Amino acid sequence: MSKLEQVLTIEPSTELLFRGPFTEVVTADLKLTNPSLKKVCFKVKTTAPKRYCVRPNSGVIDPKGTVIVAVMLQPFDYDPNEKNKHKFMVQTMFAPDAKIENQEQLWKDVAPDQLMDSKLKCVLDPSGNTASQNLSVQEEKVTSASVGGDLQKRHEEEVRRLKEQINQLKQENSNIKAEEVRLRKVAMADTVTSTPPPSQRVEAPLQTGSALPPYVYLIVAIVVGILIGKIIL
């Protein structure tokens, strides 16, 4: 009899990745999603139960529901020469219509042809440098580049706006200077208009005075007196 196909959607689907260092507990999440319209019972098994702690390790997933299973690798001394052959298996079956009284007994009584399972291997990376991590770094770089592009675009718009303001101020300055020149011309024109032409100017009459200073008359009187005295003598 052909084996039933796994009803759950399991993420990740093929391997559980644990990033070091392994001096403390390292956790990898296992996402189980039930896309069907029936309840599904699940159980998570491992080939190294002393090395891993799984919470929850079993349960029931409602239709269209999701459960996150935390797989915790316990601290240990990592040996790069030791081959890691640890594996996990997610075993599932459709839940009975009746109320489940004892899940452990339910798993014991189920027929093998009603079981569905998916296997995942464990991958240990002591450096923490994984493909998914590199992808996250690349996504972060893309996000940073996008943010940088937005900042560059806003910077260019700000520079363009400032240039427009500078050009506007220059134009206003030119208009002010032109207005100042115009006002000066108007003021000069008003001054010229208020000044009468030479033909309309009234000359003040010249006042004539003595042509000779007084001492000249005194000298003349003395000379005349001398001459008269000589004539009389």
pLDDT in tens, the chain (233 residues): 557 899 999 999 999 999 998 999 999 999 999 999 999 999 999 999 999 999 999 999 999 999 999 999 999 999 988 888 999 999 999 999 888 889 899 999 999 999 999 999 999 999 865 444 455 555 565 555 565 677 788 878 888 887 887 888 788 777 877 877 787 777 777 665 655 555 555 554 545 445 566 666 677 677 766 777 666 65
Nearest to 26 by CA among 45, 51, 44, 9: 51
Q: Are 59 and 34 in contact (CB under 8 A)?
A: no
Which tokens is 118 given? 């998916």
**Phi, psi of 64, deg, nearest 5:** 65, 15
- The answer on 185 and 153 residing in a single domain is yes
- The answer on 29 and 124 residing in a single domain is yes
**What is the reported pLDDT for 130?**
47
- Find the length of the chain: 233
213 assigned to some structural domain:
no
- The answer on 135 and 124 residing in a single domain is no
**What is the reported pLDDT for 213?**
64
Q: What is the DSSP letter of 7?
A: -
Give the structural domain span for 183. 130-190
- The answer on 137 and 43 residing in a single domain is no
Identify the domain boundary among 128, 148, 166. 128
CA angle 81, 86, 89 (to 5 degrees): 165
Whether the model pTM is above 0.85: no
Count of the separate structural domains present in the chain:
2
1 assigned to some structural domain:
no
Sign of the alpha-carbon torsion through 165, 167, 169, 172? negative
- The answer on 94 and 50 residing in a single domain is yes
C-alpha–C-alpha distance, residues 72 and 54, integer Å = 6
- The answer on 134 and 124 residing in a single domain is no
**What is the reported pLDDT for 43?**
96
- The answer on 184 and 109 residing in a single domain is no
- The answer on 94 and 35 residing in a single domain is yes
162 assigned to some structural domain:
yes
CATH number at residue 86: 2.60.40.10
**What is the reported pLDDT for 175?**
80
- The answer on 114 and 149 residing in a single domain is no
C-alpha–C-alpha distance, residues 35 and 6, integer Å = 11
**What is the reported pLDDT for 72?**
97
- The answer on 55 and 115 residing in a single domain is yes
31 assigned to some structural domain:
yes
Q: In what order do the strands lie in the sheet with 15-19?
A: 15-19, 116-125, 87-94, 40-46, 58-61
- The answer on 87 and 144 residing in a single domain is no
- The answer on 184 and 82 residing in a single domain is no
Identify the domain boundary among 79, 107, 128. 128
227 assigned to some structural domain:
no
